Copies of this chain bind each other. A is one copy, B any other.
Amino acid sequence: MLSIVLIGTGNVARHLFDAFSDCDSVQIRQVIGRNKKALEYFHKTTEITSDYNLLVDADIYIIALSDDAINTVSELLKLSNKLVVHTSGSVTMQRLVNNRTGVFYPLQTFSKNRRINFKQVPICIEAENEADLAILHKLASTLSREVHEISAEQRNALHLSAVFVNNFTNHMFTIANEICGEHQLSFSILKPLILETTNKIADMPPFEAQTGPARRNDTGTMDKHLQLLNSKNQKDIYSLLSESILKTYEKKL
């Protein structure tokens, strides 16, 4: 049995809490957070507090907070010889000032009201020593089939890749939604295409899955599309991404 204390009350903390609550081999001893209203969510099944002086004993302390808060909160944890980890994709382990430190980074986008199947969420772990890495491996394996030991540099690269595949992709959807709105079209008409776009890369490398006017160097269609776009921002994005697709295939073919 591994015991944990969760620090934070945001989306990541909630999702970890829900996932660990389903694991017989993990006991959540306490949830700590400043936001008393948000803490209520955890109150039914575990101890809650806003006072770092009331920290209980556990094997692992998980700081699931925004990047900026990690260092400060790490300093508030008066622990000796306890494993302290954070859940961030882009903060180094060294920002934790405690004497045993690590990283427990679940690579997923978490929203408040969406349940996630943690079995398929890659959990990227890192620790300063082998014994702690083994503990984190055990903890991560209770949640997921996808546990990866990766370096800080790789974690940064993954976080950056996640910005492209999640944040920027979602922004493409937002722009398409705007274009649909301007032409009295429902965005939902695009949903089957969106689902197929991502289903496709389950079987096919994205380099091979690429289609469209830029891929074919169909300048006529691209010119028509640029004329259709109303905002300079959207025109700039259309041009830069089309140019980038053109260059990608010139370079490699």
Residues of B within 8 A of A68 (CB): 220
CA distance A159 to B173 in the complex (A): 13
Whether A72 is near chain B, meaning CB under 8 Å from some CB there, is no
A99 at interface by CB-CB < 8 Å: no
Interchain nearest-CB distance for A191 vs B (Å): 7
In the complex, the answer to whether B210 meets A174 with C-beta atoms within 8 Å is yes
Instruction: Judge whether A229 is part of the interface by a CB distance below 8 angstroms.
Output: yes
Give the distance to chain B from A98, nearest Cβ to Cβ, in Å.
22
- Kindly supply a per-residue 1/0 record for chain A positions 240-253, scoring 1 wherever the CB is within 8 Å of any chain B CB and 0 otherwise: 11001101100000
In the complex, A21 has a CB within 8 A of chain B:
no
Cβ < 8 Å to B, chain A residues 145-176 = 146, 148, 150, 153-154, 156-176
Which segment, of A1-9, A43-51, A79-87, A201-209, faces chain B?
A201-209
- Asked if B122 and A171 sit within 8 Å, CB to CB, the answer is no
CB-defined contacts of A172 to chain B, threshold 8 Å:
164-165, 168-169, 172
Distance between Cα atoms of A159 and B228 in the complex (Å):
11
Quickly give the copy total for this chain: 2
Question: Is A35 on the interface with B (CB-CB < 8 A)?
Answer: no
Stretch at the interface among A26-34, A133-141, A178-186: A178-186
A36 contacts B by Cβ under 8 Å? no
Question: For A169, A183, A195, A225, which residue has the most chain B Cβ atoms within 10 angstroms?
Answer: A169
- Other-chain residue from B120, B165, B170 in contact with A201 (beta carbon distance below 8 A): B170
Q: Can you list 11 A-B pairs with a CB-CB distance of less than 8 A?
A: A122-B192, A156-B228, A164-B175, A164-B238, A165-B193, A166-B194, A167-B215, A169-B169, A171-B248, A175-B244, A177-B206
Given contacts A114-B203, A167-B211, A240-B240, 20 further A-B contacts (CB under 8 A): A107-B189, A108-B196, A109-B211, A146-B189, A148-B189, A157-B228, A158-B180, A158-B183, A160-B229, A161-B190, A163-B212, A163-B213, A167-B241, A169-B169, A171-B248, A173-B201, A176-B206, A177-B207, A191-B201, A237-B244
Q: Which 7 A-B pairs have the closest CB atoms?
A: A167-B212, A173-B206, A157-B183, A161-B176, A164-B176, A174-B206, A164-B172
